[in-house]
């Protein structure tokens, strides 16, 4: 093995790594329980570890199975509401014959300071329910979707949607509306959680007034996004709003975009427009159609929730309406689904034969002492150390490929030292320095490597930084100055 001045090393194969790019970790694991009864619009009684907890139910959303959580009320919902005693009867029936539903609950973060008059009345929140006996979960917390998506986008997990995580700003006012994300002041990204049934003339699960409110809101938002799109194009000297000519005139990097992301916290099949919706005259459908003509892109994002966190399962452009998909979307086809992308590429028999079972040995220059085994162990130790320090394993692996793990020992040691220095710097900073806000890009931990920053959640999960809010609550005011 030894050649005197250099030693041959077998490169350490990449470790099986979780992907933080596509993963949002909860601060603490969710607890499993059984929904016992619906107490009110926002409250559920949940049996957790033999104890009945009053939990906040953020939203059952427009999920097709939302009736599940209302099963106790379902039989009385359609009963006549008029007449003496009928309302009382209905109230008495609440919770009767309620079908127990497995659920996941989170505990309230008590480090968050709230106004005295806004203290939470419930100490737990129902985050997900299960329809298959706790085998898989369906997230129902719509409020958290923006946080999950903010994490994924800012971690660079969806480069086809957001190329520059630094240029992403949440909750921006566009015209009269608030849009969930604006990218580089140019692209608008709106998140929605609804089934395609909403495109019908009379949306499923909605009463007339309710549907009208929803219709007004979404058509208004689509209108604002399209207006913004036109303004951005006009700012680039393009008076023609036709998407084809615009595409031809603008470089891809400078082409303003408007994207509607339909987000699901379960393995939702590809969204399709229901039959007859196109010709139905539905106002939402008309708004969708007009927006698409102006260049609006539809994307479907599926997430999977489990007790420890949320995984970005897949995302893909959807051609909801008739017509050919936009050219630059079509180019992305076939590589969007992460499930597919993350699968090891299938090798042909010829390729298998050509690939040796053991990777070719590499030469580590400048290593003269110790045997090959010692150096290999050192390399493993350094890799492990690097992984622990950075907790960026998948980020590095996915973003920069396996070459990151085939660095020689000297380079690895330098990386570790730089990372440790940066971590110490970060830990010495005040919470105010570390975080700007919950969704904005936090500490540039990766600056030492000249790479994209991580989201606040990724840093929290990696244990590299403490929660600024928690520290704020613990530390005296003067200590923060």
Q: How far apart are CA 43 and CA 184, in angstroms?
A: 39
CB of 407 to DNA, least distance (A): 37
Q: Report, in Å, the least distance between residue 183 CB and DNA.
A: 14
Shortest CB 260 distance to DNA, Å: 12
Nearest distance from residue 200's CB to DNA, in Å? 15
What's the min distance (Å) between Cβ of 201 and DNA? 12
Q: Whose Cβ is closer to DNA: residue 267's or residue 438's?
A: 438
Tell the smallest beta-carbon distance from residue 180 to DNA (Å): 9
Closest CA to 192 of 250, 261, 267: 261
Q: Of the two residues 118 and 322, which places its CB atom closer to DNA in the complex? A: 118
CB nearer to DNA: give 125 or 406.
125
Is 7 exposed, middle or buried (CB count within 10 Å of its CB: 0-12, 13-18, 19+)? buried
Minimum CB distance to DNA, residue 437 (Å): 5
Positions touching DNA (CB under 7 A) are: 38, 40-43, 56, 58-62, 66, 70, 73, 77, 80-83, 87, 90-91, 94, 108-109, 112-115, 117-118, 120-122, 125, 142-143, 147, 170-173, 177-178, 193-194, 205-210, 212-214, 217, 432, 437-439, 477, 480-481
Helices assigned H by DSSP within 179-332 = 208-235, 243-249, 283-294, 327-332
Give 298's strand partners. 260
- Beta carbon nearer to DNA, 115 or 350: 115
- The CB-of-116 to DNA minimum distance in angstroms stands at 8
Closest to 237 (Cα-Cα) out of 213, 254, 220, 215:
254
Spatial separation of the C-alpha atoms in residues 195 and 193, rounded to whole Å: 7
Nearer to DNA, 90 or 408 (CB): 90
b/e per residue, 101-133, with b = 16+ CB within 10 A?
bbbbbbbeeeeeeeeeeeeeebebbbbbbbeee
* Residue 86 or 245 having the CB closest to DNA: 86
- For 306, the token pair is 């489990």
- What is d(CA 467, CA 445) in angstroms, rounded to the nearest whole number? 15
Q: What is the dihedral of CA 309, 314, 319, 321, to 10 degrees?
A: -30
Q: Which is nearer to DNA, 351 or 479 (CB)?
A: 479
CA distances from 475 to 110, 427, 468 (A): 15, 15, 10
Enter the DSSP assignment of 325. P
Looking up tokens 């927006």 gives: 291
Tell me how far apart the alpha carbons of residues 253 and 186 are, in angstroms, rounded to a whole number: 11
């Amino acid at each position: 093995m030894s050649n005197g001045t250099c030693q041959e090393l077998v490169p350490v194969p990449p470790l099986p790594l979780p992907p933080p790019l596509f993963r949002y970790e909860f601060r603490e694991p969710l607890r499993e329980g059984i929904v016992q009864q619906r107490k009110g619009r926002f409250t559920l009684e949940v049996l957790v570890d033999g104890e009945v907890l009053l939990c906040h139910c953020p939203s059952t959303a427009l999920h097709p199975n939302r009736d599940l959580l209302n099963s106790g009320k379902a039989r009385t919902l359609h009963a006549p509401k008029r007449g003496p005693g009928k309302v009382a009867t209905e109230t008495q029936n609440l919770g009767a014959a309620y079908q127990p539903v497995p659920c996941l609950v989170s505990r309230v973060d008590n480090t968050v300071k709230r106004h005295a008059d806004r203290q939470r009345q419930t100490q737990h929140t129902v985050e997900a329910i299960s329809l298959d006996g706790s085998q898989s979960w369906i997230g129902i917390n719509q409020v958290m979707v923006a946080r999950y998506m903010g994490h994924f986008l800012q971690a660079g997990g969806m480069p086809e949607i957001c190329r520059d995580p630094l240029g992403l700003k949440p909750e921006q006012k566009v015209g009269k509306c608030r849009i969930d994300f604006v990218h580089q002041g140019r692209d608008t990204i709106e998140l929605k959680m609804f089934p395609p049934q909403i495109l019908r003339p009379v949306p499923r699960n909605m009463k007339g007034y309710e549907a009208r409110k929803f219709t007004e809101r979404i058509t208004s938002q689509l209108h604002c996004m399209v207006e913004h799109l036109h303004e951005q194009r006009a700012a680039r000297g393009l008076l023609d709003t036709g998407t084809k000519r615009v595409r031809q005139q603008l470089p891809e990097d400078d082409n303003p975009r408007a994207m509607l992301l339909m987000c699901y916290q379960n393995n939702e099949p590809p969204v399709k427009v229901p039959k007859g919706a196109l010709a139905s005259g539905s106002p939402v459908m008309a708004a969708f159609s007009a927006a698409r003509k102006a260049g609006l892109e539809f994307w479907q994002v599926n997430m999977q929730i489990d007790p420890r966190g949320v995984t970005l399962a897949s995302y893909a452009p959807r051609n909801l309406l008739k017509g050919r998909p936009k050219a630059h979307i079509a180019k992305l086809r076939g590589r969007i689904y992460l499930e597919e992308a993350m699968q090891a590429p299938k090798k042909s028999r010829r390729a298998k034969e050509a690939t040796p079972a053991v990777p070719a040995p590499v030469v580590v220059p400048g290593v003269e002492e110790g045997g090959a085994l010692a150096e290999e162990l050192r390399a493993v130790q350094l890799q492990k150390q690097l992984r622990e320090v950075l907790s960026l394993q998948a980020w590095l692996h996915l973003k920069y490929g396996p070459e990151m793990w085939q660095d020689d020992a000297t380079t690895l040691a330098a990386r570790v030292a730089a990372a440790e220095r940066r971590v110490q710097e970060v830990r010495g900073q005040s919470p105010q320095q570390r975080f700007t806000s919950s969704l904005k890009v936090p500490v540039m931990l990766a600056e030492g490597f000249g790479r994209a920053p991580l989201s606040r959640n990724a840093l929290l999960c990696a244990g590299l930084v403490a929660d600024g809010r928690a520290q704020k609550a613990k530390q005296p005011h003067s200590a923060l100055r």
